[in-house]
Amino acid sequence: MLLRAEALACIRAERLLFSGLSFASEPGCAVALTGPNGVGKSSLLRLIAGLLPVHAGTLALAGSATGPVIAGSDHEVPLGQYCHYLGHRDALKPSMSVMETLDFWQAFLAPPPPQSMQPAQPDVCGPRAGAVSGTAAQSESLPAESSPLTALSCDTALDRVGLSHLADLSCQLLSAGQRRRLTLARLLVVARPLWLLDEPTTALDSAGQDVLWQLCTHHLGHGGVIMVATHAPLPVPNTRLALDRGLA
C-alpha cells in the first residue's frame, strides 16, 4: 500500500500554506509529518482525508490490482473513505456511553471500502478536468506477506485500548486520556488502510502511548499506511516529511 503525492498545494483563507509538495510512503513505514506550528501539517492531513480541496497536484492511494484511488477523481469510492482521520477533537457526545459511542461510529463509518481496495472500474481513475492536475500514480499490489486489514468488534476494540471495563460509563465522565483511547478504538471497528493521525499522543499517559504504537505497528505490518503530524520522534519505523513555510 502506497500513498503518493505530486506537487500538492493547499490554500486556506486565501493564504498559501504549501506548494510543490511531493512524497511517497514506504510499505510498513509511517510518514512522520514535521514542521513548526502553522506550517500546514494538520491541513495536509485534512486535505488527504477529503475535508479540504486539493488546490493543485495529484494525490493517490495505490495498492489495488486495477488502479490507484485518486483524490478529486470520479472514482466510485472517494479517497477520503479509505482514511481514518484522528484530529484534535474527540467528537464524543457526553450523554452517550462508551459502548454506545463506538457502536455509533461503527455504523456511521460502515460499510468500509471494497475488499482489497478494488475500484469498480479501472478506467475512471483519472482526475476530473479542472479538479486535480498532474500525473496519476501507478498501481502497485500489496506485498505478498501482508494480510488483509480486518475490522474488530466493538467489544474487542475496547479491550485493545483498555476501556472494556468502562463500556457502560457515560463519556462525560471519561478523563482526557480515556477519551483519546476511545477515539483510537474507532480506528479498529471499521477497517480502512490509511490512518491520518494529528498529534495522536495528546492526553495519553505512557501506557496509552504504548497502546497507540502497538496498534500502529500492527496496522503497518498488515499493509496499512499511517501519516502522523508530530513534534516528537516516532517509536515505529518511519520516514520524515518536513514542511516549511510556503514550500515543502
Q: What is the pLDDT of residues 72-110, one digit of tens each?
A: 666 667 888 899 999 988 889 999 999 999 999 999 988
Residue 240 predicted with pLDDT over 50: yes
Q: Specify the CATH number for the domain of residue 216.
A: 3.40.50.300
Q: Give the full edge-to-edge strand order of the sheet including 15-24.
A: 15-24, 2-12, 56-62, 69-70
Domain assignment of residue 82, yes or no: yes
| Domain extent at residue 90 | 2-242
Round to whole Å and give the CA distance between 125 and 192: 19
In a domain, 122, yes or no: yes
- Side-chain-side CA neighbours of 28 within 13 Å: the count stands at 7
| Contact of 231 with 38, CB cutoff 8 Å | no
Closest alpha carbon to 187 in 37, 91, 83, 96: 83
- Is residue 126, in this structure, part of any structural domain at all? yes
Note whether residue 147 is domain-resident. yes
Residue 248 lies in a domain: no
Q: Please tell me the total count of domains within the chain.
A: 1
pLDDT tens for 198-227 read 999 999 999 999 999 999 999 999 999 999
Q: Which residue has the cell 482526475?
A: 127
pLDDT in tens, 146-179: 456 889 999 999 999 999 999 999 999 999 999 9
- Residue 247 within a domain: no
